[in-house]
Amino acid sequence: MNAKTLSRSAIAVALAVALSAGYVAGHRDVPAPQVITPAQAAMMPAEAAAKTGIPDFSGLVETYGPAVVNISAKHVVKQAALRGNGGGGNQLPIDPSDPFYQFYKHFFGGVPGMQGGDGGDAPDQPSASLGSGFIVSNDGYILTNAHVVDGANVVTVRLTDKREFRAKVVGADKQSDVAVLKIDAGNLPTVKIGDPRQSKVGQWVVAIGSPYGFDNTVTSGIISAKSRSLPNENYTPFIQTDVPVNPGNSGGPLFNLQGEVIGINSMIYSQTGGFQGLSFAIPINEAIKVKDDIVKTGHVSRGRLGVAVQGMNQTLADSFGMRKPQGALVSSVDPGGPAAKAGLQPGDVILSVNGEPVSDSADLPAQVAGLAPGSSATVQVWRDKASKDLKVTIGSLSDVKVASDKADQPAQLQGRLGVAVRPLTPEEKNGASVSHGLLVQQSGGAAESAGIQPGDVILAVNGRPVTSVDQLKQMIAGAGNSIALLIQRDNAQIFVPVDLG
């Protein structure tokens, strides 16, 4: 049965039922069917939503959808960059009759796998990327992702009423992936800014954007997690959702049910390039701070403490005499940095900054980054089974890397721990920027089970520096059932909990 036949059949059945009901009502004293007015019909979705618990997003979309914009960023790129799947890989077949050919050509300014007719390098060609954004002030300021406009020569903003404006990139901050645009217009629709700190895991949220170029597409889901730390994204405590987000949604707003923006949709976790149930948004309070800094000063200032931290678990908490795992465990301190000057040490567990609790290590970078360089902060740490307050003068954020070298020399076995170690040479100490440590050459038993690998450098046990093989033996012999090893691995220092049994 085709769609038209189905529709007509449904109407015919409804009419027959209505006539039958009227007949029965007139002959058997049965109440006639209730007549539903248009006004009552309009109220039914809201009533149904209230009864079922499924929200109706139509009012939110109608009110704030006009403030969501489509962003087209044009770049000049090498034609070779549009070929294949990463330089030298298989070429994608090109068939102009394929409907996706025109789709890619229209929306993305090129087609994957396209080559010049002579097979040689073509001259520079324009390419376009699409993204989303939203208006935060009626005089034309717009927020989006930095990666949407990165390297763009021309940025065009299109509103829902089809008006288009050439946008100026006021500034972009790659560390937070936030960019600020400005268009020459007034009396524009704007979004309402909310407080993501008040949101809860499990609450409904709505995304509006332009996935694959389809303007003002609305998708919904729930908050899956908060303060999510992602690799190479150290200063943003992401909001994780299961809202369907795809390429082109980047830079669009994430709304709560009150119609307030609580985040900027920034990235997805995917093995295919499409949505797989994991999307991440930048908290709007972080983005607004970046926007205010860019508009006022032209750059973003962030505080720096000068430590590397890692998360706590129960084994580490037991090793440091804590009742429960909390805070951020300091695995290394930058020499000469603000933390070093204030007396922070590897093995300290940072519990709070200026009275604001650090519930997880992922919270600390954003908390410190939000402090003004040069300001004074009180950092509460857990050390030697007691809390202690330290005064720190916050520095200005900069990247600091620690190198690590490895060499092969005779090993000395440590039975209970299960490692073969040797002292570092002076050259290795200098290259790794450390004053002490033991190089792991073999790993087995408890150490291997904990993840200790050949090439790791053992720096401390339960926060106490290790300077010799004999000292390590004594520490292990006198330890309880668990220890925390501070190791250096691949340009970073981390604490590893080891169960000695």
Q: What is the pLDDT of residue 232?
A: 62
- Residue 487 has a CB neighbour count (10 Å cut-off) of 23
What band does 72 get if pLDDT is binned at 50, 70 and 90?
very high
What band does 74 get if pLDDT is binned at 50, 70 and 90?
confident
8-12, 75-79, 124-128, 257-261: segment of lowest average pLDDT = 8-12
Q: What is the mean pLDDT of residues 368-390?
A: 92
Q: Is a pLDDT exceeding 60 seen at residue 119?
A: no
Beta strand 349-353 pairing with 356-357: antiparallel
Q: 250 among the known binding-site residues?
A: yes
What band does 139 get if pLDDT is binned at 50, 70 and 90?
very high
Q: In terms of pLDDT, which residue wins out, 4 or 383?
A: 383
What band does 49 get if pLDDT is binned at 50, 70 and 90?
low
Q: Which of 366, 363, 307 is nearest to 495 (CA)?
A: 307
Query: What percent of the chain clears pLDDT 90, i.e. is strictly above it?
Result: 43
Q: Is a pLDDT exceeding 70 seen at residue 26?
A: no
39-43, 378-382, 439-443: segment of lowest average pLDDT = 39-43
Q: What is the pLDDT of residue 19?
A: 35
Tokens at 37, concatenated: 């007015």
Q: Which of 11, 485, 57, 460 is nearest to 257 (CA)?
A: 57
Q: 133 among the known binding-site residues?
A: no
Q: 177 among the known binding-site residues?
A: yes
Q: 299 among the known binding-site residues?
A: no
The pair phi, psi for residue 314, each rounded to 5°, is: -65, -35
pLDDT digits (tens, 9 = 90+) for 350-367: 999 999 999 888 788 888
Complete DSSP assignment for 54-121 = ----HHHHHHHGGGEEEEEEEEEE-GGGGSTTTSSSPPPP--TTSHHHHHHHHHHSS-TT---TTSSP
Q: Is a pLDDT exceeding 90 seen at residue 392?
A: yes
Q: Is a pLDDT exceeding 90 seen at residue 69?
A: yes
SS3 344: coil
CA distances from 37 to 44, 88, 102, 192, 472 (A): 11, 66, 46, 34, 83
pTM confidence score: 0.61
Give the 3-state DSSP-derived string for 138-199, with helices as H, strands as E and coil as C. CCCEEEECHHHHCCCCEEEEECCCCCEEEEEEEEEECCCCEEEEECCCCCCCCCEECCHHHC
Q: 70 among the known binding-site residues?
A: no
* Catalytic residue list: 147, 177, 250
Q: Is a pLDDT exceeding 70 seen at residue 83?
A: no
β-bridge partners, 338? none
Separation between Cα atoms, residue 348 and residue 382, nearest integer Å: 6
Q: Please report the domains of the chain, with CATH numbers, ordered by start residue.
A: 67-87+97-114+122-182 (2.40.10.10), 193-297 (2.40.10.10), 303-396 (2.30.42.10), 412-499 (2.30.42.10)
Q: What is the pLDDT of residue 345?
A: 92
Give the 3-state DSSP-derived string for 33-46, with helices as H, strands as E and coil as C. CCCCCHHHHHHHHH
Would you give the end-to-end CA distance of the chain in angstroms? 70
What band does 124 get if pLDDT is binned at 50, 70 and 90?
low
Q: Is a pLDDT exceeding 90 seen at residue 5?
A: no
Q: What is the mean pLDDT of residues 241-245?
A: 93
Q: What is the pLDDT of residue 13?
A: 30
Q: Which of 490, 494, 304, 306 is nearest to 402 (CA)?
A: 490
State which of 13-17, 189-193, 290-294 shows the largest mean pLDDT. Answer: 189-193
Separation between Cα atoms, residue 273 and residue 173, nearest integer Å: 24
Tokens 């290590």 found at: 361
